[in-house]
Amino acid sequence: MAGSKRRRKLARGRQSRKVASRVVKRLNQKVRKAKRRAKSRAPKAASLSRKSIYSNGLAEEGKTFPFLKTHFGQVVQGDSLDVLRNFRDGSVDLFMTSPPFGLVRKKDYGNVEADEYVEWFKPFATEMYRCLKDSGSLVIDIGGAWNKGYPTRNLYHFKLLIALCEEIGFHLAQDFYWWNPARLPTPAEWVTVRRIRVKDAINTVWWLSKTPWPKASNRRVLQPYSPAMQTLLENGYTAKKRPSGHDISEKFSINNGAAIPPNLIAVPNTESNSYYLRYCEERGLSPHPARYPAELPEFFVRMLTDIRDTVVDPFAGSCITGEVCERLQRDWTCIEILMEYCEAARGRFIRPASATAKSVGKPDAPSDERNYYQVPRPGVLWNGPTGDDLPADGGRKRPEKPRSVSEIAPTPRSDLFAKS
Ligand SMILES: C[S@@+](CC[C@H](N)C(=O)[O-])C[C@H]1O[C@@H](n2cnc3c(N)ncnc32)[C@H](O)[C@@H]1O
């Protein structure tokens, strides 16, 4: 009796060990299957074309992972510092980029604190300097920042410029200013509530070069003459010395067909119905929150590079630089660290590049008013003495109730007029 009990117990033990090993086996199979599935999904991008990055002679094989390849370029997902380290010396004609800005309040794509910004950026700058051709340029669009809790500006983007020139060796070819006419009146606390600062509506754009002689031509970025200049050209101009001392010769009244642009680029950042946005919406992807308008990279790509030159954006975001280059037939590489932005950027390249072109050799009528932004001359609304007294505390105290514009509008003070 005791023996048969022991045999039954042993049999039960064998049975449960068999079941347990079957369960473990099945589990292992599931894990292996999941791993295989994950592998075939995640690096789908990577395996798309690992060859492509080497085909334009930029990198050493095996070091970087192209996410997407197009006719002229590629999106590489990864840390641009790692990716750039594999680029060959003197292989790039233009770095066109907008890095994460130094912020006092962090955005959701890993902006760096303004105070640490220069140190953070220097390794990237060193790599870009090494990779540039002697004729090459680095163009950086960088917005300013306000000091936390104060109506004063942080100096980080000026410090960056100085470090790039004095420590890394770049030359400041020219400083540009991108004016976004559609910018909202921010920061609201200083601009609309306390009314002690004006709208912050420009980004600085530093055009840096490896030598004082980067290749460039302003003929590539001409603009229509302003209506005032057209009138002048039609009616003629009397050569004379200006009050500023500049001698304006007859040459100024020659109609060259178009005007040389200033270093102020006026473009609203109001993309609202692009293919990219629709692509993101249809797939439930978040569009990049800090995109620059296509006209900004296009200006510099046109002015500073030729067809089949190499353009790299190491902080690519939505890869708009790549989209512009694809259309202008430049070889390009966009590097973006976040997979979700790379996924969204796919939307920029799944149709033929020509479809994104605004106009093909057919400019808008030069006299069309829509081609111009009008900035009122200061003084148009000024009327007599300034009226209202300035806040003696510099706006330190928040007004209880914001005043309307009519309350603030200057009212002439009779006591300030000279008695006749
Ligand atoms: C200001 S956004 C660029 C936006 C882009 N110009 C556009 O119009 O879409 C900066 C981008 O740099 C990316 N980034 C930050 N650090 C990076 C790194 N080390 N390597 C590659 N990308 C990086 C961020 O994820 C962010 O998408």
Could you identify the residue written with the tokens 């870009």? 128
Q: Which residues make Cβ contacts (< 8 Å) with residue 395, sequence separation at least 6?
A: 151, 190, 194, 195, 196
**206 three-state secondary structure:** strand
Segment-wise mean pLDDT, segments of 10 residues, the chain, 420 residues = 60 59 54 45 34 51 73 95 94 97 60 81 98 98 93 96 98 97 92 95 97 97 81 71 69 76 93 88 94 97 98 97 97 95 94 52 58 84 84 92 57 42
Distances in Å between the Cα of 375 and the Cα atoms of 179, 349, 379 are 11, 36, 12
| Alpha-carbon torsion (22, 23, 29, 32), positive or negative | negative
Q: Which of 140, 196, 203 is nearest to 170 (CA)?
A: 140
Other CB atoms within 10 A of residue 140 CB: 24
Assess whether the previous peptide bond of 187 is cis (omega < 30° from 0).
Answer: yes
CA-nearest residue for atom 8, ligand 1, is 291
**Whether residue 348 has its Cβ less than 6 Å from ligand 1:** no
- Give the H or E element holding residue 307: none
User: How much is the pLDDT for 147?
Assistant: 92
Distances in Å between the Cα of 254 and the Cα atoms of 52, 100, 239, 246, 249 are 49, 44, 12, 17, 10
Which atom of ligand 1 approaches the CA of 97 most closely? Answer: 6
The DSSP string of 167-187 is II--EEEEEEEEE-TT----S
CA-based angle 210:213:217, to the nearest 5? 115
CA-based angle 314:307:325, to the nearest 5? 40
Report whether 253 contacts 229 (CB < 8 A): no
Report whether 111 contacts 101 (CB < 8 A): yes
**Whether residue 341 has its Cβ less than 6 Å from ligand 1:** yes
**Residue 290 backbone phi and psi in degrees, to 5:** -135, 60
Rounded to the nearest angstrom, the distance between the alpha carbon of 109 and the centre of ligand 1 is: 8
User: How much is the pLDDT for 402?
Assistant: 60
Q: Which of 75, 69, 131, 123 is nearest to 99 (CA)?
A: 123
Which atom of ligand 1 approaches the CA of 101 most closely? Answer: 1
Q: How many residues does the chain have?
A: 420
CA-nearest residue for atom 12, ligand 1, is 315
Rounded to the nearest angstrom, the distance between the alpha carbon of 80 and the centre of ligand 1 is: 9
Q: Catalytic residue numbers?
A: 98-99, 141
Distances in Å between the Cα of 47 and the Cα atoms of 213, 238, 277 are 40, 67, 26
Q: Which of 137, 156, 136 is nearest to 146 (CA)?
A: 156
Rounded to the nearest angstrom, the distance between the alpha carbon of 319 and the centre of ligand 1 is: 9
The residue extents of the domains of the chain are 44-224+259-371, 228-257
Looking at the DSSP bridge assignments, the partners of residue 333 are 74, 312
44-224+259-371 — its CATH code?
Answer: 3.40.50.150
Site to probe by mutation for ligand 1, drawn from 124, 315, 320, 340 as the one with most ligand atoms within 8 Å of Cβ, is 315
User: How much is the pLDDT for 9?
Assistant: 61
Phi-psi region of 3 (alpha: psi -120 to 50; beta: other; left: phi over 0): alpha
Distances in Å between the Cα of 76 and the Cα atoms of 26, 45, 290, 316, 335 are 37, 9, 19, 9, 5
